[in-house]
Each structure stands twice: as C-alpha cells, then as structure tokens.
Amino acid sequence: MTLTIYDTGRREKRVFEPIDAANVRLYACGPTVYDYAHIGNGRTAVTFDLVFRVLRYAYGVEHVTYVRNITDIDDKIMARAVERGISIRELTNGTAEVYQKDMAGLGALTPTHEPRATDYVDGMVAMVQTLIDKGHAYEAEGHVLFDVSSDKDYGQLSGRSLDDMIAGARVEVAPYKRNATDFVLWKPSDDDMPGWDSPWGNGRPGWHLECSVMSEELLGETFDIHGGGIDLAFPHHENEVAQSTCAHDGAALANYWMHGGFLQVDGEKMSKSLGNFLVVHDLLEDWPGEALRLHLFMTHYRQPLNWTAEGVREAKAILDRWYKVTAGAGNVTGDDVPASVAAALLDDFNTPQALAVMHGLYSEAQKGSEDAARALKASGQLLGLFGQSAEEWAAWRPQSSAIDDAHVENMIAARNAARKAKDFAEADRLRDELTAMGVEIKDGPEGTTWSVAP
C-alpha cells in the first residue's frame, strides 16, 4: 500500500515512508481552549482525524500514535482565570471537555494523547536552557528570545526570505530584541498573573515552545507527520522547527508537513476576530455530526472550503440515501473497502475522488447490488461515517425540533384513515399540517414514511 502526501515543507507530493511502520507518529496543533471551537477549527481537526484513520487503515490500528495538543497557557485564558479568581485548570477543564465532545460529534476519534501545555512547563524550561547553552537564545529584560541569526535554516519550512520576515516583524519589534525576527521562548509574568518559576524569574513559555516540548516528550525528537491549519505554517511551525532542530543538534522535527486550507465564509477565513464564525457546538444541535463531516470532505483538505447551510443540507440528503441503501449491508471491515476508494484516500487524502466513487457505488446498490452496498458502507466507515444504525440515523432530530414522533404517527394514521374513507379534504388538511410542522411524508408500496425536512 503506497501513501503519498503533499509535503508543504518540500512543496511537493512525496511517497510516505514512516520512520517505524510499527509506530507511525502524527502531531497536529490543537486549539487554544479559550472559547468554543468554530467549524474552521473543526475542519482542521477533522482533516487530521482522517489522516489518523487512513494511517490506521494502512499500518494497523495499533501502529499509529496521534497527538493533538491543548494550549491552555495563553494571555486571554490567564486574564479570564484571574478575573474569576480560579486557576487555569479550573477554567479550561470545561472548555477542553466541550472541545473534545464537539470534535467527537464531528466523528473525530479520540487521539492517542491530548497533552496540555500546563503539564509540560518543566520540559519547556529545560528546552529554553538548552537553547541558551547551545548559543541559540539569549536573555533580555526578563525575556528569553530565540536568536534567529543563529539558525541558518530559518525560513526554510515556510519558504520565506529573511527580508520578508523582517518586514513582517518590524511593526511590533520590541527594543530588547537583537534581530527583528527573534521570537519569545519565555516571558515574564506580572505578579498578579499566573506564572512558573524559572532561572529567568517568574514567567511563562511562548506558544511555539509548547508544541516543540510536547511533541518531543510524546513522539521523540523526530517524528513522521506534523500538521495544522495553513495559518500555522508561519510563524508557528517555522519557530517550532527552529527551536527543536537547534535543541536537538540538527535532527529534523518532522519528516512531512501537512497544512489544511481555510474554511471560509463568503471568501473570508472563518475566525474569531472577524466575528463570522459558527460554533461547532451550535451546529451539532441543528445537524447530525456526520452531515457536517461529509460537507467538509466534499472539498479536498488543501483547498479553501466555502461553508454554506446549503452544502450541509446536501450532505444530509446524501447520507439519508446512503443510510437507506446500506441498511441491510451487515458488518463490514477495512477489507471491504474497494481499491478505488482506498487509492483515492492514499493519494494525499483525496476525499472528493473517494466520494465520487461512492456515488457510483450508491447507484449500483440502489439497483440491488449487495456488494456495492457493502463497499459503500466500508468506504463510509473508513471516512468516519456510518457510525450509527440506519434506524438511529432516521430517528435523528434537530435539538430545536418540537416534533413528537407519536403525534406525527397518529396524524399519519388519521390521514390514511381519511384517504381510505375517501375524505380527501381531511387527508390534504392533515398533510398540510404536517408540512407546516416541517414533516415530509412519502407514500410508498410499504406504507407512508416520514422525515423531518432540514
């Protein structure tokens, strides 16, 4: 089985060769658990969940380690904790739990490890000391800064020239920096802010340092794949690389870099600062998680994705049909995934191509092919779909729905009775009432079925 990955570090598609096929190692930068995650954050989490699933498919369930970290050291988090008079942990326990549940709602498997930055501060202090000792960092006014001029490879990952980076950094250059591009490894905390003891006084680590240390402790100095949204390539990942390679005497941080495209609204990145965001937590009240997930997969992970309610509605309708046609398919395994679907996913996680094949399988299944129904179900499961029975799927209702199933059944029975008695005016009246409630009914050879219109 050959997996190819578009490596943003090398700017080309490469055949994936793991360091150790018995333990393939993946790290994706997780959220700052300050607020609810929006569906843009969700897209990136789902992308790396798919990578995790495809790696498990290719190398075996027991042979992949996936780390998705939680950033709980952040100025906004600390300010809010102080404001409420509680610890960072007390504040973020709730938000981290909601994040984990919401991502599970999008069909994401629980990662192997979900480290929290606050549990790794000792390791961060040690790495800062190592960087100072090796001549890659310096102390200035209570800060410790990474000396970019000491790293000849700085800028390679994101492909930026030093001039570009200097121009970008100039806006906010602090007087104690030797070079405009130097970045913070450690910064001082005011007395009224949370902090940790260090050789440089009471303070806290810079954000980039967190991932360098958590990935080293959980995956080793060099691991296979490192990922995140495209906004993280620079400066976050560039700085992670600088810290880790300099602390580890030149050993690479990761052999492959993957970056997911933005989820957009009307052509703009969905983000907290622009205020154009939809929170996953709310979306999961209005839609089944698998419909949100399928909408994400309709666009290749590296392309920008325009999020629309119409897209989710379409995804929900596709799943309605797929669930119906696979209802009798029984248990399937990875062996039932057809080669064409596997090939699409092993080719840089080409979900639109996999879905195109699955639409073909659906047509065959609808014509009665049991093999096609099984292949469709197995393919869906590899994508993290078909996580429930056809009955459960059909019984799903939006949380805002006031529809009472028993009441609907009674109305349908009354309508059928009216039709039998040739009281078509009453039958039509009941149908209109159901439509007004958002219930769609269909008369078929096996009686009347109904569903809730999205």
Q: Which does 138 bind (CB under 5 to 8 A by kind): ligand ATP, Zn ion, none?
A: none
Task: Determine if 29 is a binding residue for Zn ion (CB under 5 A).
Answer: yes
Helix 370-382 to helix 339-346 angle (10° resolution) is 20
Nearer to Zn ion, 211 or 263 (CB): 211
CA neighbor of 247 nearest in space, from 151, 174, 177: 151
Which residues make up the interface to ligand ATP (CB under 6 A)? 29, 31-32, 40-41, 43-44, 228-229, 231-232, 260, 262-263, 269-273
Name the residue nearer to Zn ion (CB basis): 257 or 386. 257
User: Which residues on adjacent β-strands are paired with residue 389?
Assistant: none
Nearest-5° angle of CA 45, CA 378, CA 370?
150
Pairing status of strand 143-146 against strand 137-140: antiparallel
Question: Annotated binding residue at 272?
Answer: yes
**Residue 183 vs 386, nearer CB to ligand ATP:** 183
Closest CA to 146 of 75, 195, 205: 205
CA-CA distance, 322 to 324, in Å (whole number)?
5
Q: Which of 26, 33, 169, 211 binds Zn ion (CB under 5 A)?
A: 211
Residue placing its CB nearer to ligand ATP in the complex, 230 or 452: 230
Q: Please tell me whether 246 is known to bind a ligand.
A: no
Q: Which stretch binds Zn ion (CB under 5 A): 28-36, 160-168, 171-179, 334-342?
A: 28-36
Q: Is 236 annotated as a binding residue?
A: yes
Contact 338, 375 (CB under 8 A): yes
Give CA–CA dist 316/286, Å, rounded.
11
Report the partner that residue 211 touches, choosing among ligand ATP, Zn ion, none (CB closer than 5 to 8 A by kind): Zn ion
Answer with the entry of Zn ion, ligand ATP, none that 272 interacts with (C-beta below 5 to 8 A by kind): ligand ATP
143 annotated among ligand-binding-site residues: no
Toward Zn ion, which CB reaches closer, 29 or 39? 29
Amino acid identity of residue 116, one-letter, is R
Query: Is 324 annotated for ligand binding?
Result: no
Q: How far is the CB of 272 from ligand ATP (least distance, A)?
A: 4
In the 8-state DSSP scheme, what is residue 221? S
Kind of pairing, strands 12-15 and 305-306? Answer: unpaired
User: By C-beta, is 16 or 262 nearer to ligand ATP?
Assistant: 262
Q: Which of 307, 363, 430, 236 is nearest to 46 (CA)?
A: 307
Query: Is 62 exposed, middle or buried (CB count within 10 Å of its CB: 0-12, 13-18, 19+)?
Result: exposed
* Nearest-angstrom CA–CA distance, 167 and 363: 55
350 binds, among ligand ATP, Zn ion, none (CB under 5 to 8 A by kind): none
Q: Which of ligand ATP, Zn ion, none interacts with 263 (beta carbon under 5 to 8 A by kind)? A: ligand ATP
Binding-site residues for Zn(2+) sit at 29, 211, 236, 240
Binding-site residues sit at 29, 211, 236, 240, 272
Binding-site residues for ATP sit at 272
Contacts to Zn ion by CB under 5 A? 29, 211
